[in-house]
């Protein structure tokens, strides 16, 4: 028994002694990295490469030009946008010379502010003021409130000096392809064409004005445009794109879209090829990981892997060694019940011992668990095992007596038979 050995210190297990025993340092062994990696890690990135350059086919004049008149954009108040430059004019109490100079003094009090990416202007001593998406009246109200909050003179005027946020592009058969801004006044189709220097073509009968808006295409032959003042006065919207074609024909459009389909097919095939390459690389990596894991499991089965063990002996169903798990600790309950637990008929539940050597000494600590009171099994679930611990289950007193009797009875029977024969 552990208590009869002079080198053994018996410690009764309770919450305090369990906590004390668990404070001993121990780092569980870990599984190889192959068990934590996935086949997708570092599998590589595969691009589809560049697409072939488009090819322009020859053009044939059509017998008729399509006609689809664009609708006029609604008349709405101008809303400030990113890139616009706002001119803020405020009074500036100057000296008599400045007041007499009139225009010069007024110019010195005018400051332009660009609406930045976050939709705000940065005003010194005031901070950033959000104005994007507001009408001028709403923007003035916003600036007024910020000036009041900053305890500054709220007398000012606000105007847009540069319109950069809402524009219409004009290209194709025009004298000067341009980007035309939309200002406080609505921009019409004829004004946009005039800003680009007018239409420049030698064949009006086969010239087409094309307007792209929100994914829609509108087309007006130049001859019809010149005859319809209502079309000329069509109001444009921000983002409209106008392109003047001089030799538009349906076959060319069909060839263009056929070419686009071919390019899309090429890109799709290239993507499939890249995906197949990536899958092949992932399969190779997956196979390598599976091989590494399989090799480790084979070594583990052959007991060629360095492991930490706990040893079970005494009145257990199967005296054995219990391997401590990888990456985590195991409890006394894990060790007891992993291989079937104790012999119910012969084991003494009051005398379960965990024998643990004391570092740097020949002494042994015997932690005693009494689970005759079943609630003490909770302590077994909290007591952490350490490498080379020995779990010993003592026998019942009656078990010891029975074993003595079993050893003596055959001897007595043999002696009696010998005497009877003589």
Claim to verify: residue 396 and residue 314 sit in the same structural domain: yes
Claim to verify: residue 156 and residue 179 sit in the same structural domain: no
73-89 pLDDT tens trace: 999 999 999 999 998 88
Burial label, 248 (beta-carbon count in 10 A; 0-12, 13-18, 19+)? buried
Q: How long is the chain?
A: 422
Claim to verify: residue 330 and residue 300 sit in the same structural domain: no
Question: Residue 251 above 60 pLDDT?
Answer: no
Question: Residue 270 above 50 pLDDT?
Answer: yes
List the CATH number of the domain containing 192: 3.10.560.10
Distances (CA, A) of 79 to 119, 139, 163, 206, 239: 12, 9, 10, 38, 14
Question: Rounded to the nearest 5°, which phi and psi values hold at 32?
Answer: -60, 160
Question: Residue 392 above 80 pLDDT?
Answer: yes
- Is residue 223 assigned to a domain? yes
DSSP state of 181: E
The confidence score (pLDDT) of residue 55 equals 59
DSSP state of 413: H
Structure tokens at 374: 């079943």
- DSSP structure string for 15-81: HHHHHHHHTS--------GGGT--TTTT-------PPPPP-PPP----SS---BPPPPPP----B--
- Is residue 415 assigned to a domain? no
Claim to verify: residue 101 and residue 179 sit in the same structural domain: no
Calculate the CA dihedral of residues 317, 319, 320, 324 and round it to 10 degrees.
70
Claim to verify: residue 158 and residue 184 sit in the same structural domain: no
**How much of the chain, in percent, has pLDDT values that exceed 90?**
36
Calpha distance 295→293 (Å, rounded): 5
Calpha distance 189→230 (Å, rounded): 10
- Is residue 140 assigned to a domain? yes
Calpha distance 352→341 (Å, rounded): 11
The confidence score (pLDDT) of residue 100 equals 39
List the CATH number of the domain containing 126: 3.30.1950.10
130-155 pLDDT tens trace: 999 999 899 888 888 888 888 777 77
- Is residue 76 assigned to a domain? no
| Boundaries of domain holding 194 | 167-248
Claim to verify: residue 319 and residue 383 sit in the same structural domain: yes
Structure tokens at 355: 């024998």
Question: Residue 161 above 70 pLDDT?
Answer: yes
Claim to verify: residue 386 and residue 340 sit in the same structural domain: yes
Read off the pTM. Answer: 0.43
In terms of pLDDT, which residue wins out, 161 or 104? Answer: 161
Mean predicted confidence (pLDDT) in 158-166: 90
Q: In the listed set 103, 131, 162, which residue is the last one of a domain according to the structure?
A: 162
Question: Residue 400 above 80 pLDDT?
Answer: no
Query: Measured over all CA atoms, what is the biggest interatomic distance in the chain, rounded to whole angstroms?
Result: 156
- DSSP structure string for 323-369: EPPTTS--BHHHHHHHTT-B-TTTEEEEEEEEEEEPTTSS-EEEEEE
**Mean pLDDT, rounded, of the chain:** 81
Question: Residue 16 above 90 pLDDT?
Answer: yes
The confidence score (pLDDT) of residue 240 equals 93
Where residue 344 falls among pLDDT bands split at 50, 70, 90? low
25-67 pLDDT tens trace: 999 999 998 888 887 755 455 555 666 676 555 455 566 778 8
Claim to verify: residue 176 and residue 235 sit in the same structural domain: yes
The confidence score (pLDDT) of residue 266 equals 80
The confidence score (pLDDT) of residue 210 equals 92
SS3 percent helix, strand, coil of the chain, rounded to 5, is: 35, 25, 40
| CA terminus-to-terminus distance, the chain | 43
Is residue 332 left, alpha or beta, with left meaning phi > 0 and alpha meaning psi from -120 to 50?
A: alpha
- Is residue 418 assigned to a domain? no
- Is residue 406 assigned to a domain? no
The confidence score (pLDDT) of residue 106 equals 41
Where residue 414 falls among pLDDT bands split at 50, 70, 90? low
Question: Residue 340 above 80 pLDDT?
Answer: no
The confidence score (pLDDT) of residue 27 equals 92
Q: How many CA atoms lie within 13 A of 144 on its CB side?
A: 10
Least confident of 11-20, 346-355, 378-387: 346-355
Calpha distance 128→13 (Å, rounded): 68
Least confident of 51-55, 118-122, 177-181, 222-226: 51-55
Question: Rounded to the nearest 5°, which phi and psi values hold at 355?
Answer: -95, 125
The confidence score (pLDDT) of residue 7 equals 84
| Local structure of 220: helix, strand or coil | strand
The residues that bridge with 353 in the sheet, in sequence order, are 368, 392
Claim to verify: residue 391 and residue 349 sit in the same structural domain: yes
354-378 pLDDT tens trace: 999 888 888 899 999 988 888 888 9
Q: In the listed set 162, 182, 213, which residue is the last one of a domain according to the structure?
A: 162
The confidence score (pLDDT) of residue 419 equals 54
Where residue 399 falls among pLDDT bands split at 50, 70, 90? very low
The confidence score (pLDDT) of residue 154 equals 74
- Is residue 409 assigned to a domain? no
The confidence score (pLDDT) of residue 99 equals 42
Claim to verify: residue 156 and residue 178 sit in the same structural domain: no
Q: In the listed set 286, 305, 324, which residue is the last one of a domain according to the structure?
A: 305
Contacts of 109 (CB under 8 A, 6+ apart): 89, 90, 91, 92
Calpha distance 226→60 (Å, rounded): 24
166-205 pLDDT tens trace: 999 999 889 999 999 999 999 999 999 999 999 988 778 8
**Under 8 Å between Cβ of 396 and 34:** no
**Under 8 Å between Cβ of 189 and 229:** no
C-alpha torsion sign, points 123, 128, 130, 132: positive
Claim to verify: residue 264 and residue 311 sit in the same structural domain: no
Tell me how many domains the chain contains: 4
Claim to verify: residue 117 and residue 146 sit in the same structural domain: yes
- Is residue 381 assigned to a domain? yes
């Amino acid at each position: 028994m552990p208590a009869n050995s002079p080198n053994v210190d018996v410690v009764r297990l309770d919450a305090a002694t369990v906590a004390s025993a668990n404070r001993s340092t121990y780092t569980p062994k870990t599984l190889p990295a192959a068990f934590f990696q996935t086949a997708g890690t570092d599998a590589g990135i595969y691009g589809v490469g560049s697409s072939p350059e488009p090819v322009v086919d020859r053009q044939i004049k059509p017998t008729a030009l399509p006609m689809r008149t664009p609708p006029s954009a609604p008349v709405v108040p101008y809303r400030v946008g990113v890139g616009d430059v706002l001119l803020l004019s405020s009074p500036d109490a100057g000296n008599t010379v400045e007041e007499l100079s009139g225009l010069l003094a007024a110019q010195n009090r005018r400051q332009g502010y660009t609406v930045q990416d976050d939709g705000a202007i940065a005003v010194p001593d005031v901070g950033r003021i959000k104005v994007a998406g507001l009408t001028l009246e709403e923007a003035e109200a916003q600036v007024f409130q910020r000036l009041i909050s900053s305890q500054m003179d709220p007398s000012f005027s606000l105007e847009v000096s540069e319109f950069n946020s809402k524009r219409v592009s004009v290209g194709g058969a025009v004298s000067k392809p341009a980007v035309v801004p939309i200002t406080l006044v609505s921009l019409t189709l004829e004004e946009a064409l005039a800003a680009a220097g007018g239409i420049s073509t030698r064949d009006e009968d086969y010239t087409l004005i094309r307007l792209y808006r929100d994914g829609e295409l509108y087309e007006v032959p130049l001859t019809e445009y010149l005859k319809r003042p209502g079309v000329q006065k069509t109001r444009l919207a921000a983002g409209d794109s106008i392109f003047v074609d001089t030799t538009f024909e349906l076959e060319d459009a069909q060839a263009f879209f056929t070419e686009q389909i071919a390019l899309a097919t090429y890109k799709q095939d290239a993507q499939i090829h890249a995906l197949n390459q990536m899958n092949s690389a992932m399969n190779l990596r997956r196979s390598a990981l599976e091989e590494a894991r399989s090799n480790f499991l084979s070594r583990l089965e052959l007991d060629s892997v360095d492991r930490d063990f706990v040893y079970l002996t005494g009145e257990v169903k199967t005296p054995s060694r219990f391997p401590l798990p990888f990456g985590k600790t195991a409890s006394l309950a894990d060790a007891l019940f992993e291989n079937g637990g104790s012999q119910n008929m012969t084991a003494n539940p009051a005398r379960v011992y965990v024998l643990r050597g004391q570092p740097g000494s020949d002494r042994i600590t015997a932690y005693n668990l009494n689970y005759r009171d079943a609630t003490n099994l909770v302590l077994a679930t909290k007591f952490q095992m350490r490498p080379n611990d020995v779990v010993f289950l003592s026998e019942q007193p009656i078990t010891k007596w029975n074993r003595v009797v079993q050893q003596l009875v055959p001897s007595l029977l043999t002696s009696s038979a010998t005497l009877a024969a003589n």
